[in-house]
Amino acid sequence: MKVLHTSDWHLGRSLYGQRRYAEFDAFLAWMLNALREQRTDVLLIAGDIFDTTAPSNHAMQQYYRFLRQAADTGCQHVVIIGGNHDSPTFLNAPRDILKMLNVHVVGAKTDDPAEEVLRLDDTDGRPLALVCAIPYLRDRDIRTAEAGETIDDKEQKLLDGIKAHYQAVTDAGELLRGELEKHYKADIPLIGMGHLWAAGARTVEGDGVRDLYVGSLAHVGTDIFPVTLDYVALGHLHVPQAVGGQNHVRYSGSPLPMGFGEAKQQKSVCTVIFEGRQADIQQLDIPCFQRLRQLSGGLASLQAELQSLLADGESTWVEIIYTGTDIVPDLREQLLEALTDDVGNLITLLQVKNQRKDLHTLHAEESEQTLDDLSPQEVFQRCLDAHEVPDEQRPELLHLYQDILKQVQEMDTNAQ
């Protein structure tokens, strides 16, 4: 049996206002071809299919068109779990219809853990695999608030709830596997899926990955994955990687660079070939569909690098970070002068950030930063600085602020 693991498509995502539908079309076409060429039996999509809980019509068309075409590739099953960017209601709404295409959707935690265990059969009705399809677990799904709780109490209950749910679903899967292996007299792989942030996993700056939970437990230990799982397909982080020294616990990473920090990162999907319960894991590289480049430095060096990119003759979206010492009031205009020969509009300056270094203070100017350049946490931190809030009061205030942010995000999700 051959499995392909992917995640974090973020359909509908834009970059500094630039629509990326053509990139997503190219990726989905590549994915369909990969399913055929790899002769994939099972496709796992580990959450964050969409970038927002209210995806555009175009993004929805891309999603449903892909699922319809995937059925013609020879792939026998597609398994989709909800991520923190996805609306559980939206994902779950058509699941009965999608199941007719052997597309299995678990958008949110179920009341019965056994309902998150999916039996995937071959065309003869024999089990190919069992999948413990655990979606992103929202705070309200796994923790009940009690009066008088401390921050540490809340975080420990959250961790205990996550671990207990993974164990309960895996126990249900292991019980069903025992029955099926006894009946069919064959080894059946037990695969886990999850959407979370594992401790020790790598990220890159500017990738847009959100903290999932308030406090330090955004990163949970890999010990939450029971040892009976033969492969664990994770989503949420955009860097392809194995986690915690365990080769079978993996993030596939996002298929497209979600920000300029990922511009030179090789994107991939995971391919897993099972012989019984034994998994042979490889990475399949995804081609680049739109070149991104992040350039930083003084004016002269930036102009030279832009001319070099233009000489390559490849369409490129560019983020500029000016770190020179000279005051350049017409920075964008002077940069565009380096592109006067760009008759084909190959180079697009998506963002120009002026972080001029003051020779006296050795600090970058922040006057031209906008809210688009800052995370909500950074905005709040600046408010604390502006009001000269004492250091000893900041941890509790930051925790309360993060809690409010999570509640607002979950209210937006519920509204969908």
- pLDDT digit string (tens) for 341-359? 887 899 999 999 988 766 5
Answer with the residue of higher pLDDT: 141 or 11: 11
* Percent of the chain topping pLDDT 70: 85
On whether the CB atoms of residues 252 and 238 are closer than 8 A, the answer is no
334, pLDDT greater than 80: yes
Residues with Cβ within 8 Å of residue 252, at least 6 apart in sequence: 5, 6, 7, 8, 46, 233, 234, 235, 240, 268, 269, 270
Q: Pick from 240, 203, 241: which is nearest to 219 by CA?
A: 203
Note the pLDDT of residue 156: 79
On whether the CB atoms of residues 19 and 56 are closer than 8 A, the answer is no
- Across all residues in the chain, what is the average pLDDT? 87
Quick one: pLDDT band at residue 365, thresholds 50, 70, 90?
Answer: very low
Quick one: pLDDT band at residue 32, thresholds 50, 70, 90?
Answer: very high
Q: Pick from 114, 80, 75: which is nearest to 94 by CA?
A: 80
DSSP letter at 114 equals G
Q: How many CB atoms lie within 10 A of CB 136?
A: 24
Note the pLDDT of residue 408: 66
Greatest CA span in the chain, whole angstroms?
Answer: 77
171, pLDDT greater than 60: yes
Q: Of 77-91, 296-310, 327-341, 357-371, where does mean pLDDT reach its minimum? A: 357-371
Say if strands 103-106 and 77-81 run parallel, antiparallel, or are unpaired. Answer: parallel
Residue 250, beta-bridge partner list: 233, 242
As a whole number, mean pLDDT of residues 81-107 equals 95
Note the pLDDT of residue 367: 45
Tracing tokens 């413990």 back to the chain, one arrives at: 132
93, pLDDT greater than 70: yes
Note the pLDDT of residue 300: 92
Q: Of 24-33, 223-232, 273-282, 351-360, where does mean pLDDT reach its minimum? A: 351-360
Q: What is the pTM of this model?
A: 0.85
Model confidence over 213-263: pLDDT tens digits?
Answer: 544 445 678 888 999 999 999 999 999 999 988 999 999 999 999 999 888
Note the pLDDT of residue 253: 95
> Alpha-carbon distance 256 to 11, whole Å?
10
As a whole number, mean pLDDT of residues 112-139 equals 95
Residue 223, beta-bridge partner list: none
Phi, then psi, of 392 in degrees rounded to 5? -70, -20
> Alpha-carbon distance 389 to 169, whole Å?
45
Model confidence over 398-409: pLDDT tens digits?
Answer: 767 776 766 665
Quick one: pLDDT band at residue 114, thresholds 50, 70, 90?
Answer: very high
On whether the CB atoms of residues 372 and 341 are closer than 8 A, the answer is no
67, pLDDT greater than 80: yes
> Alpha-carbon distance 118 to 189, whole Å?
12
Note the pLDDT of residue 219: 66
Say if strands 42-46 and 18-19 run parallel, antiparallel, or are unpaired. Answer: unpaired
266, pLDDT greater than 50: yes
